[in-house]
Amino acid sequence: DAGITQSPRHKVTETGTPVTLRCHQTENHRYMYWYRQDPGHGLRLIHYSYGVKDTDKGEVSDGYSVSRSKTEDFLLTLESATSSQTSVYFCAISLNPADTQYFGPGTRLTVL
Amino acid sequence: DQQVKQNSPSLSVQEGRISILNCDYTNSMFDYFLWYKKYPAEGPTFLISISSIKDKNEDGRFTVFLNKSAKHLSLHIVPSQPGDSAVYFCAASAIEGAQKLVFGQGTRLTINP
């Protein structure tokens, strides 16, 4: 299994509060991704990173920001959480853009 | 606009028989396709992939078929085993923007003993 951890694994928060999710990898992969999984939608790309301090938007980036200050860490921030951001969030990594993406265990976020 | 569609939310198959999961796509720029398997409370795990230059790729009990003219791919599992019970996602990417995987909605496969 690829060395990917996500923290926290579960979080309950209230509308309007800031939330940061962390993805940590030990594989030294260049690319890192954040997805959300919702019923009826599969997984949708939020943001991805192609190197330290290099990030780009995915399909559903509104309301989310990311940062990558080290190769091994990729942070996803919800500046002001909304109920529509209740979801399961997955981090993934890949060595190169066309390589297979390997996923972390996920974070279940509930926004009340 | 769902570019990758898995029209069957669920599928039930008897142990030992063949499981066939289907996936359709609309974007003709997609040239690489993958299947992921997901157990509850875990992240998706890569299962098998196929490039658009091929029409079939096999790995043990798993075979993926690609029909480019129909924009359709399928995953065959034979023989099906109880441990195959999971949600299966197909995903696709294009040469330009290969890092941007587009996933289908998933199909829940249940293997009955």
pLDDT tens-place string over residues B50-82: 999 999 999 999 999 999 999 999 999 999 999
Tens-digit pLDDT profile for residues A48-91? 999 999 999 999 999 999 999 999 999 999 999 999 999 999 99
| Helix (H) or strand (E) run with residue A30 in it | none
CA distance A90 to chain B (A): 7
Q: Provide the phi-psi class of B41: left if phi over 0, else alpha when psi is between -120 and 50, else beta.
A: left
- What is the per-residue pLDDT across B29-38, written as a single tens digit (0 to 9) for each? 999 999 999 9
Cβ under 8 Å to B: A residues 4-33: 4, 31, 33
How sure is the predictor about B87, in pLDDT bands with cuts at 50, 70 and 90? very high
For residue range A84-112, list pLDDT tens digits in order.
999 999 999 999 888 899 999 999 999 99
Q: How far apart, in whole angstroms, are the C-alpha atoms of residue B45 and residue B64? A: 16
- For B43, the closest of A40, A94, A105 (CB atoms) is A105
Could B103 and A106 be called an inter-chain contact, meaning their C-beta atoms sit closer than 8 Å?
A: no
B7: left (phi over 0), alpha (psi -120 to 50) or beta: alpha
What pLDDT, in 10s, does the model give residues B15-28? 999 999 999 999 99
